Amino acid sequence: MELVKPWRDEEGYLKARLAEALYEAELARRFLEEGLCRNAAGKAYRAWKALLAALALKERDILKEAFRGAKKLRNGKRLSEIDWIIAFMPSTRVRAVAQILARKYGDELLMYTDIALNLHEYQYNGPDKEGVFSRYRDDEAAREDVARLIRGIEKLREPLAREAGSSEEKPGRI
């Protein structure tokens, strides 16, 4: 499935991002079952970014007040900053977007975002007993948060998917 540009087909983009969140969360679950905790952390993070991008698209009007700039694309075209964020959901904007969306969707959204960012850091640095390079002292602590984030993705994704008319099936539970 090719990811359409959100400014060309909002409905198609929303469905694609919701499907991406579903598939990435399922891969994270499978990696956890296989004991591949760092890989699971990366997939859970990708699933969260996809879900956040879907929410950002739905709340574009709220977010455009905070992100008023423009970005120049490789082809030389200019794109509003909010459309760029929705399309790419860069890690550098994830928390700022979540903080704004939490005003509407609740503090839980921000909590899951912080977990996702912590897992992203863990994916690259692994566990760290000293707590310098990673917030996770061991793989088990990260594993617990991967499972927590997957449950949060399922909880927040399901109503969006129903509203968008997504026919994707829900993955199994952890």
The chain-wide mean pLDDT, for the chain, equals 92
Per-residue buried b or exposed e for 20-47, using 16+ beta carbons within 10 Å of the residue's own CB: bbbbbbbbbbebbeeebbbbbbbbbbbb
- pTM (predicted TM-score): 0.90
Does the structure show a pLDDT above 50 at 165? yes
CA angle 47, 149, 83 (to 5 degrees): 40
The pLDDT, as a whole number, for residue 172 is 46
Does the structure show a pLDDT above 80 at 82? yes
> What CATH number is given for 10-58+91-164 in this structure?
1.20.120
pLDDT per residue over 38-80, tens digit each?
A: 999 999 999 999 999 999 999 999 999 999 999 998 889 899 9
Does the structure show a pLDDT above 60 at 171? no
The pLDDT, as a whole number, for residue 174 is 46
Domain range annotation of the chain: 10-58+91-164
